[in-house]
Amino acid sequence: MAAEDLPSQFDVVILGTGLTESVIAAACSRVGQSVLHLDRRNYYAGNWASFTFNGLLSWIEEYKNQQELQITESEQEWRSLIEDGEEAVPLNSVDSSISNLEVFCYASEEEEQEEETKDLLTCPNAETVSEETNSDSTETQDTVTSDDVTESNVKVQNEENEDSAPKEQLHASDISEHSQSVEEKQPNRSPADPPAELQKKITYQKLLKEGRRFNIDLVSKLMYSRGALVDLLIKSNVSRYAEFKNIGRILTCRNGKVEQVPCSRADVFASKQLTVVEKRMLMKFLTFCLDFEQHPEEYQDYSEKPFSEFLKNKKLTENLQDFVLLSIAMVTQQTLTEEGLKATQHFLRCLGRYGNTPFLFPLYGLGEIPQCFCRMCAVFGGIYCLRHSVQCLVVDKESNKVKAVIDTRGQKIGCSHFVVEDSYIREEQRESIDYRQISRAVLITDRSVLPSESDQQISLVTVPPVESSGPAVRMVELCSSSMTCMPGTCLVHLTCSSSGTAQQDLAPVVSQLFHIPTTPGEDPSEGTGEISKPAVLWVMYFNMRDTSAMDSSCYSLPSNVHVCTGPDAGLGSDYSIKLAESVFHCLLPDEEFCPPAPNPEDIIYDGDAPQAEGRGFDESNDTEANKSQAEEEGTTNETNPENSEAAEMDSVAQETTLDTNPPSEE
């Protein structure tokens, strides 16, 4: 879309397509505000994005280039647009929220045809695309020099990627094009592959070739089934744009052994590790937590003391204390009793709504969620431009309010409100800085950390801190049916609050839980004692800035500029949704936040425009018909009144053709 095409006035200009900004965009657009939604990146969702494997490699490349890039500013062009009584507030043009990025590859570099020869000695041990060569060497670094081919290999793939990953490369503002790509990917990414493939060793070539089957999230979060995000998705009808999968099980790592955390009634019943008395004690405690407010006498004496002490007092065995503290409440040793109880309660209240664990995960990755809200915004007339940013804000000196923005194409666009993601704010506009860091690792592995009957389970693994003071590491293992990785692999996300670099924080956990081949493509059966652990094929470490502690007092900005902080370190997205809601209420105090979107057939169109019609089930294929049966039978299921909601959430994304409303010129 050419710059001239943009209207010169919007109610709200939003910069950044992360979750918070996207929700605000959808909420504003839904109540009739004209919205211009921009992102300097060439993909949606900012730090919330999901990438194909190849897309991620080019993201890594971009990161690398950005580190080398000297920022040259050409302020002159927009200076001329500033009039008397106006002041310009320039914005950041680069993003520095990602740091310490490191990549290691352990998959065999062999061509697929040569797989049988297994000529391991001539293979490179590892490769890194990090620009900094760590001096504190691990065995993998020693051999970096042994092969340069791999790195160029990556680059070649990056170029190919330009064509092969339409979703992430989308930059046009037309949202319908995006929605098409959502439709397209379904048939392309069916998880049903011949089982023979699972037997084969997975080479790096294979990862690249099957790269489109990956949807690798930068942020690893799950959705609490009674969390703010799920409630909002249901309330706003945005859920119709996405599909979800249950997290199948919750695991923990005790004494170096991965085991299942019994958290639901069925789990406790089936657990083989607990004695019957432990079962009773655990169930009793959990039942108490469900409505602990009703029994203040039980915990009053501990209100100033840590939750961990309270658990000890409750006659729970050590075993059970760990389960509750680390895997159910997911708090630290220091957390106070009441907070611990609340966390446990929240976990329990989320149980059973959609399955045996409290969590859902969006198919195709978390990056889908911001895009769903963007789509809702576009359906109600919002305008989208990727690779399109704002250079500076135009502030009316008298009122100290933003009256317009100047975009990267030099157009001055009037607006009444400006919503912006934190990373666009320059240091000069910050009063105080309270950054924390999130340490992240992304692994591609060859199997689950705890194989079970069904290999198609998403698992949440809580790994206790190695030292008692350290942060607990949260691990999410995704299976191929979550549409985030190719069959025969698992995609593993590790997250913790940083105390050092991501690699320092997480590498010990990685080596504790996984087998790191000493030579790429090593047959795990050749190693000794490591056979039971899954092998790492590829790993990426990075730190992401956590700005969630910042509030409006941290910025010196005009009152109609609203800053959205990025993803926080928490497991749920409640923080970002609540932020979006509060920003929305600042913008439009009298409007409802994301009321349900009307059904297409209930919308009245001006003039003679033909009425758009939703795609009915009649036209859908067999699997959808089965699904709809599941829904309908679900709704009549008397024993589980929540099923109807589950059906709603599970329903196949229904494509509407309601996306071409011309933006209002008023």
Binding site for other proteins (CB under 8 A): 31-34, 265-266, 268-270, 276-277, 279-281, 283-284, 380-381, 598, 602-606, 628-630, 632-634, 636-639, 643, 661, 664, 666
In angstroms, give the least distance from the CB of 245 to other proteins. Answer: 16
Decide whether 96 or 626 has the Cβ nearer to other proteins.
626
Nearer to other proteins, 123 or 658 (CB): 658
Contact in structure between 172 and 42 (CB atoms under 8 Å): no
CA separation, residue 82 to residues 38, 75, 323, 459 (Å):
21, 11, 60, 54
Choice between 238 and 496, CB closer to other proteins: 238
Burial of 35 (0-12, 13-18, 19+ CB in 10 A): buried
Residues 6+ apart with CB under 8 A from 122: none
**Among the listed residues 535, 450, 541, 536, the one whose alpha carbon sits nearest the alpha carbon of residue 495:** 541
Q: Which is nearer to other proteins, 279 or 349 (CB)?
A: 279
CB nearer to other proteins: give 214 or 354: 354
Strand, coil or helix: 604: coil
Q: Which of 166, 663 has the CB closer to other proteins? A: 663
Of 104 and 380, the one with the shorter C-beta distance to other proteins is 380
Strands, E assignment, 23-148: 35-39, 50-51, 86-90, 98-105
Q: How far is the CB of 580 from other proteins (least distance, A)?
A: 20
Report, in Å, the least distance between residue 32 CB and other proteins.
3
Min dist CB 598 to other proteins, Å, is: 4
Residues sharing a CB contact under 8 Å with residue 339, sequence separation 6 or more, in sequence order: 307, 331
Adjacent-strand bridge partners of 542? 440
CA–CA distance, 423 with 443 (Å, rounded to integer) = 26
Are 207 and 318 a contacting pair, CB within 8 Å? no
Min separation Cβ 373 and other proteins, Å: 16
Residue 152 or 639: the one with the smaller Cβ distance to other proteins is 639
Longest alpha-carbon distance in the chain: 79
Q: How far is the CB of 47 from other proteins (least distance, A)?
A: 30
Q: Which is nearer to other proteins, 79 or 280 (CB)?
A: 280
Other C-beta atoms closer than 10 Å to the C-beta of 198 total 15
Separation in Å, CA 650 to CA 221, 363, 367, 632, 647? 19, 10, 18, 12, 5
Backbone phi and psi for residue 22, each to the nearest 5 degrees, phi listed first: -70, -40
Smallest gap from Cβ 469 to other proteins, in A, equals 35
Closer of 358 and 566 to other proteins (Cβ): 358
Reported as type and span, the H/E element at residue 65 is helix 53-68
CB contact at 8 A, 497 and 438: yes
Q: What is the token pair recorded at 622?
A: 């067999």
Do 554 and 430 contact (CB within 8 A), yes or no?
yes
Residue among 2 and 277 whose Cβ is closer to other proteins: 277
- Smallest separation (angstroms) from other proteins to the CB of 380: 6
DSSP of 435-500, one letter per residue? -EEEEEEEEEESS-SS--S-S--EEEEEE--SSTTSPPEEEEEE-GGGTSS-TT-EEEEEEEE-SS
Q: How far is the CB of 603 from other proteins (least distance, A)?
A: 6
Write down the least CB distance from residue 636 to other proteins, Å: 6
User: Nearest distance from residue 609's CB to other proteins, in Å?
Assistant: 12
